[in-house]
Chain A
Amino acid sequence: MCSARIPAPNGRSVLMDKPNVEVATQVAANVSDPELPYLTLADLGILRSVELQDDIIVAYVSPTYSGCPALEVIEQSVLVALKQAGFNARVERTLSPPWTTDWITDEGRRKLNANGIAPPQQGQTDKNTLFAKTVVVCPACSSDNTAKVSEFGSTPCKAQYQCKQCREPFEYFKCH
């Protein structure tokens, strides 16, 4: 079994076995989204891959929206999680192929709905049509009698809706 000299937090170095990519991937995948903490990066589909390059773990992360303000926080969180797990690591941003809401897992969609956010509908093309109506289902009562209050919500990825049936306001994670 080959070994690598890994720097430890106290400034000295420790002789460790070659970094385990599977373990590193699990660590990175379980990092929570800072805005929606019940979702992991794996649920969102933004952790693209984790590789070993010259004994350094490299995690590739994709941005959701171009201007997502949480991106740097997410990258830092992945780095901190990997370092706390004992890895010598680096996080890189990858733009290609671009992330799409289609990569949110079924578990991710279930969690969004359970937390009052209507998940994005797959394969929607209505964003190219003026005055188009997207049918969004209320996460509280499952009615489709809902109305858009605001195209942009608390974050660029969400729109504000209200259910006409149960009167609850909720957010819709827009198709992207």
Chain B
Amino acid sequence: MAALEHAPMELTPKEALVQTVIQIADDHLILGHRLSEWCGHAPMLEEDLSMPNIALDLIGQARALYTYAATVENKGRSEDDIAYLRTDREYTNCLLVERPNVDFAHTMLRQFYFAVSMQLFWQRAMKSSDETISGIAGKAVKEVAYHVRHCGEWIIRLGDGTEESASRMADAVESLHPYTDELFTTDIARQYCIDAQIIPDSIAIKKQWTDLIAPVFKEAGLTLPDVPYPQLGGRSGQHTEDFGFLLAELQYVQRAYPGAQW
């Protein structure tokens, strides 16, 4: 099912590239923000290190992407302007990454779904026709490998754990799985970039993603649910209610002190 399209029918190659790069950056910024909410509140010290460190990797990747988008766009916007000063409808992250943390099971599952898709994405993007994307991919692919490993191990420990952990893990699968379709949708801008071999094709990635998730779920004693009605909308700027609260926190300092610098 294609995402709702509100983009104009004609896009220049430059606009398509900028839109797509910002879309990928938005996924990383928003997910990084969600993870950072655990800082000081994690269930144990090692996860209070892990989750903010994973968040730091994601935000670093977002920065490299936003900086590239700002350079290509060449309209005087900085990486910070793009990251912090847009309205909710202008963010094009997928809905999965803005889902609230809920509990550790939900958080690990959300991260695992995203990390596996990005691992497949970055592996292929290393051969991108765009040198900057290829450079970002070369670094990100190594970082995301640690994310996949860390979260994959937790899915198994929790799924194949106690009655409580297994039940929380099953709830997480039921609530988050409908959001995973949007990881693989394309729009006009993204399709242009796929055709120009700047980014990899989503359909090929989706098949491999399912193949990689399945054995982990099996070992965790979890079932992949059927999703009759996928949750979509983030790619066209239509976000969930939780996103408003997230943006308020994310943008507060920049909005309260416009132009503030460290």
A contacts, CB < 8 Å to B: 63, 65-69, 94-100, 127-132, 149-153, 156, 160, 174, 176
Contacts and interface: CB of A to CB of B under 8 A. Distances in A.
Contacts of B60: 63, 65-68
A153 B49 CA distance: 7
Interface residues on chain B, size class = 20 to 34
A127 B145 contact: yes
B149 A176 contact: no
Nearest to B49: A152
A149 to B, nearest CB: 7
Interface of B: 45-46, 49-50, 53-54, 56-61, 63-64, 131-132, 134-136, 138-140, 142-143, 145-146, 148-150, 152-153, 156, 216
A69 B53 CA distance: 11
Chain B interface helix/strand/loop/mixed = helix
Q: A100, A128, A131, A151 — which one has the most chain B CB atoms within 10 A of its CB?
A: A151
Contacts of A96: 131-132, 134-135, 138
Given A151-B146, A152-B49, A66 B64 contact: yes
A98 to B, nearest CB: 3
Contacts of A100: 142
B152 A130 contact: yes
B111 to A, nearest CB: 13
Nearest to A99: B139
Contacts, number: 85
Kindly name the residue among A63, A65, A66, A68 whose own CB sees the greatest number of chain B CB atoms within 10 A.
A66
Given A100-B142, A149-B46, 10 more contacts: A63-B60, A65-B139, A95-B136, A99-B139, A129-B149, A130-B153, A150-B49, A152-B49, A156-B56, A160-B49
Contact of A131 (B49, B61, B139, B153): B153
Contacts of A128: 145, 148-149
16 contacts: A63-B139, A65-B56, A65-B143, A66-B60, A67-B56, A94-B135, A95-B132, A95-B138, A97-B135, A98-B138, A98-B139, A127-B142, A128-B148, A128-B149, A152-B53, A156-B56
A127 B138 contact: no
B246 to A, nearest CB: 19
B53 A95 contact: no
B124 to A, nearest CB: 15
Given A95-B136, A99-B139, A128-B149, A151 B56 contact: no
Contacts of B143: 65-66, 176
Contacts of A63: 60, 139
Contact of B46 (A99, A129, A150): A150
Contacts of B50: 150-152
A149 B46 CA distance: 8
A130 B142 CA distance: 15
Nearest to B157: A131
A161 to B, nearest CB: 12
